[in-house]
Amino acid sequence: MTINTLARLICLLLTPALLPTAAQAQARPEPVAGNPIIKDKYTADPAALVHKGTVYLYAGHDEAPARQERYVMHEWLCYSSQDMVTWKEHPSPLNVKAFAWAKDDAWASQVIERNGKFYWYAAVEHGSIPGKAIGVAVSDSPTGPFKDARGSALITNDMTTEAKISWDDIDPTVIVDEKGQAYLYWGNTICYWAKLKPNMTELDGPINKVTTLPKFTEAPWVHKRGNWYYLSYAYQFPEKIAYAMSRSIEGRGSSRAF
């Protein structure tokens, strides 16, 4: 296994700017790259989708009043850009209320496109099964509106019983490999993965665990570069970002497997 600590910045979503000199920094303390790109609302857990030359940025919307420490998150937001500089806000494409079985908490999510449809995997609080759950919404447009694709949760807390917490089913991320097989990764304290059926709304086999991630906390994210799959994740507190590498998307068959 190869684990490397990164300083991954969300500036990947921003246009790079020249660093100012010391004199310039004193004269102009404000950021020069347009950061943050969302200035009028509190947002969390950004995830990006590139579709037909446009970047779509999805994030949870925190509406907590001043001096309240707990999140108040009922909906997700969507922004788009064609130049990574100018961002357009769209009407909220998804609310927790779209999942009739859910109770609250618009937590981390991701949207992917497949066969002309857009699938939104989102972590929420389940209404009748204690703990967090993962739902799937679908739309014909990346800006929505999205609707519940199943009528029930894809993942519930009673499906993953090894963790000692009720919020281990959060932070879903999906990747489709070259053969067309879709994989769902998610978790807190334990990193889970499972195959998805071609309809993108059902599991295709058992729930598995990635057992070789030291001090895994949450926020898995899988991508491929060259012949390697990379699984990025957050670990420890205060949280840091690390990644593991494998020749296999399932983390098998390599001495550097995740």
Distant-in-sequence, close-in-space partners of 205: CB < 8 Å, separation ≥ 6: 194, 195
The catalytic residue among 75, 218, 239, 250 is 218
Here the tokens at position 115 are: 């066969």
Q: How far is CA 17 from the centre of its chain?
A: 26
- Residue 218 known to be catalytic: yes
- Residue 202 known to be catalytic: no
Task: Round to whole Å and give the CA distance between 23 and 98.
Answer: 52
Half-sphere exposure at residue 182, Cβ-oriented, CA atoms within 13 angstroms: 19
- Judged on CB neighbours under 10 Å (0-12, 13-18, 19+), 173 is buried
The catalytic residue among 45, 105, 125, 148 is 45
Residue with tokens 């969390």: 44
Partner residues linked to 3 by β-bridges: none
> How many of the other CB atoms lie within 10 Å of CB of 258?
28
Residues classed as catalytic:
45, 218
